[in-house]
Amino acid sequence: MHDIVNAAANFINLDIMNVTYLFLVGFVGGLVSGFIGSGGAFVLTPGMMSLGVPGLVAVASNMCHKFPKALIGSIKRAKYGQVDVKLGVVLGISAEAGVLYGAHIQESVKKAFGDAGSNLYVSVAFVVILAVVGGFVLLDAWKTYRSGNTNAEEKATKIALWIQSVNIPGTMVYFKSLNARISVLFTIPLGFATGMLAATIAVGGFIGVPAMIYVLGAPSLMASATELVIAFVMGLGGSFKYAMSGLVDIRLAMIILGGSLFGIQLGAMGTTYVKPFVIKMVMGVIMVIVLFSRGLMVPVYLAQLGLIETISETTVKILKNTSFAIMIFALLIGAFIVLRAMWQGRREERLAMQQSPAVIK
Amino acid sequence: MASKSSKKKPIGKMIIMGIISVALYVGLFMQQDLINGYNARGGLYAFLPIATAFLFSFVHGSFTGDFWTVLGIEASKKKKEVK
């Protein structure tokens, strides 16, 4: 405990450049998470570390900006009728348990294989999960786009329909986002997996949102909005845990929050202008780009573990910088799609109002 | 006449919340050593960063919401409900 406190007391000095950088990344991260329910952490945590913030302080401070941001975002989206608070809380609590278990696995991997082993584990988990889930989400969005049926109501998958049909007495709960009663015996493992992933790759939403859509049968808009409730529950619990060890640098958290609260309001409003497949598109695109970013680092960790030939310092540096640049690119491209969709939506609405003002209430 | 249909913009509220928000940030940075000192203690002092985060989110969240409204950027009037 004493060591941790000493490390935490070593909070970095902040200059105007650092503050501006964190504020801007916070803004873009907030914009994306207001829209798809998560995002930003994968850039913010390494971003803070690149400023000299110790890893654990970066994770803790990121989490401490996440829960108030998610709170504001979920309140905003609740006004549009997109939030299923009950589902969010049920998944959020089981996700909290998943976080604890995920952190425990992380520690065991680190003990057994050292830093490089732990990094390799995180990167491989990232690549595999994002390839499977991100690829699936993107493909689904692309199919909807190509079919020209973008206005059609989203249909629940076969798995979701099956889950909704299973009746396990004593465990059934009605969720408004699904418009069905399902057994919590299905939601608990899902929440747990979301939490475990959040502890491993820091972005639980990348599994939480697709799980709500494809496994439970929630509409994309409601799934991404409900993810904000999960992020709030998980973020609050996680922040408290880290704060108990004195690891939260509240200045960092509040600077990022300063930018992200501008972004999340905009991202949340953006969801009212778009068709549901755009949510999947943004999420899928970000996941697939981030996958390449993490994939680039795999050879570095393999070399550090002695599993492949040593890589020169210069190459390692180039790979690291490229990896980080790709992550920033992923976030920016997500923000671009959101803003563009919002811009188009507003323009169409203005045109429609000019043509027939009486039609729109 | 044209402005009759549009809602009144919350300029006053935005300015007040903006001032409080700036004051909170100035306070945080003026007293950063003291605040970081308490936060780094951990244990029950964990309530301090959590309470700070709630306070900032309430004030700054209200300001940023009104900020976009005042700029004329609002949610679509067509789709209020998902289903």
Mean pLDDT of chain B: 87
Strands A172-175 and A180-183: antiparallel
pLDDT(A166) > 90: yes
Give the whole-angstrom CA distance, residue A181 versus residue A166. 9
A90-107 average pLDDT score: 88
Pairwise CB contact (< 8 Å): B78 & A360: yes
Residues 259-288 of A with CB under 8 A from B: 261-262, 265-266, 268-269, 272-273
Q: What is the per-residue DSSP string for A40-68? A: SHHHHHHHHHHTT--HHHHHHHHHHHHHH
In a domain, A69, yes or no: yes
pLDDT(A66) > 90: yes
Lowest-pLDDT choice from A130-134, A149-153, A251-255: A149-153
State which of A73-87, A92-106, A272-286 shows the largest mean pLDDT: A73-87
Give the whole-angstrom CA distance, residue A109 versus residue A35. 34
A157-178 average pLDDT score: 94
Residue B1: per-residue pLDDT: 39
B53 touches chain A (CB under 8 A): yes
In a domain, B27, yes or no: yes
Mean pLDDT of chain A: 88
Give the whole-angstrom CA distance, residue A260 versus residue A288. 23
pLDDT(A217) > 50: yes
pLDDT(A30) > 90: yes
Pairwise CB contact (< 8 Å): B73 & A240: no
Residue A14: per-residue pLDDT: 83
Q: Identify the closest residue of chain B to A67 by CA–CA distance.
A: B53
- Please indicate whether residue A261 or residue B36 has the higher confidence score (pLDDT): A261
A180 touches chain B (CB under 8 A): no
Domain coverage including residue B19:
10-69
Confidence of residue A358 (pLDDT cuts 50, 70, 90): low
Residue A361: per-residue pLDDT: 46
Lowest-pLDDT choice from A36-50, A284-298, B14-28, B44-58: A36-50
In a domain, A33, yes or no: yes
Nearest to B60 among A245, A258, A266 (CB): A258
A207-225 average pLDDT score: 94
Confidence of residue A7 (pLDDT cuts 50, 70, 90): very low
Which ipTM score applies to this complex? 0.90
| B67-72 LR contacts (CB < 8 Å, sep 24+) | B67/A262, B67/A265, B67/B14, B67/B18, B68/A262, B68/A265, B68/A266, B68/A269, B69/B9, B69/B10, B69/B14, B70/B9, B70/B10, B70/B11, B70/B14
State which of A108-112, A188-192, B32-36, B52-56 shows the largest mean pLDDT: B52-56
Give the whole-angstrom CA distance, residue A47 versus residue A321. 11
Give the whole-angstrom CA distance, residue B66 versus residue B70. 6
Domain coverage including residue A221:
2-347
Residues 221-250 of A with CB under 8 A from B: 221-222, 236, 239-240, 243-250
Two tokens at A276? 């549901």
Give the whole-angstrom CA distance, residue A2 versus residue A19. 29
Pairwise CB contact (< 8 Å): A64 & B53: yes
A80 touches chain B (CB under 8 A): yes
Interface test with A, best of B26, B79, B81 (most A CBs within 10 A): B79
Confidence of residue A142 (pLDDT cuts 50, 70, 90): very high
In a domain, A358, yes or no: no
pLDDT(A236) > 70: yes
What residues of chain B lie within 8 A of the CB of A360, using their CB? 77-78
Q: Identify the closest residue of chain A to B62 by CA–CA distance.
A: A72
* Tokens 């690119």 found at: A329
Two tokens at A29? 């991260």
- CB contacts < 8 A (A, B): 140
Instruction: Name the domain count of chain B.
Output: 1
Confidence of residue A9 (pLDDT cuts 50, 70, 90): low
In a domain, A359, yes or no: no
Tell me how far CA of residue A350 lies from CA of A218, A272, B76, in angstroms.
30, 14, 10
pLDDT(A221) > 90: yes
Residue A38: per-residue pLDDT: 84
Give the whole-angstrom CA distance, residue A273 versus residue B14. 24
Residues 145-164 of A with CB under 8 A from B: none
Interface test with A, best of B36, B41, B54, B59 (most A CBs within 10 A): B36
Taking only the tens place, the pLDDT of each residue in A194-211 is: 888 877 777 778 889 999
Pairwise CB contact (< 8 Å): B64 & A261: yes
Two tokens at A74? 């979920």
pLDDT(B81) > 70: no
Supply the DSSP symbol for B45.
G
Dihedral of the alpha carbons of A44, A47, A53, A55, in degrees to the nearest 10: 70
In a domain, B1, yes or no: no
Dihedral of the alpha carbons of A100, A106, A112, A115, in degrees to the nearest 10: -140
Residue A83: per-residue pLDDT: 97
Nearest to A261 among B35, B60, B74 (CB): B60
State which of A118-122, A139-143, B1-5 shows the largest mean pLDDT: A139-143
End-to-end CA distance of chain A: 59
- Please indicate whether residue A107 or residue A253 has the higher confidence score (pLDDT): A253
A226-237 average pLDDT score: 93
pLDDT(B50) > 70: yes
Nearest to A257 among B45, B57, B82 (CB): B57
pLDDT(A305) > 90: no
Supply the DSSP symbol for A348.
H
In a domain, B77, yes or no: no
Query: Is B50 within 8 Å of A240 (Cβ atoms)?
Result: yes
Residue A357: per-residue pLDDT: 61
**DSSP H or E segment with residue A5:** helix A2-9
Q: What is the 3-state secondary structure (H, E, C) of A149-196?
A: CCCCCCCCCHHHHHHHHCCCCCCEEEECCCCEEEEHHHHHHHHHHHHH
A23 touches chain B (CB under 8 A): no
The structure's pTM equals 0.90
Instruction: Name the domain count of chain A.
Output: 1
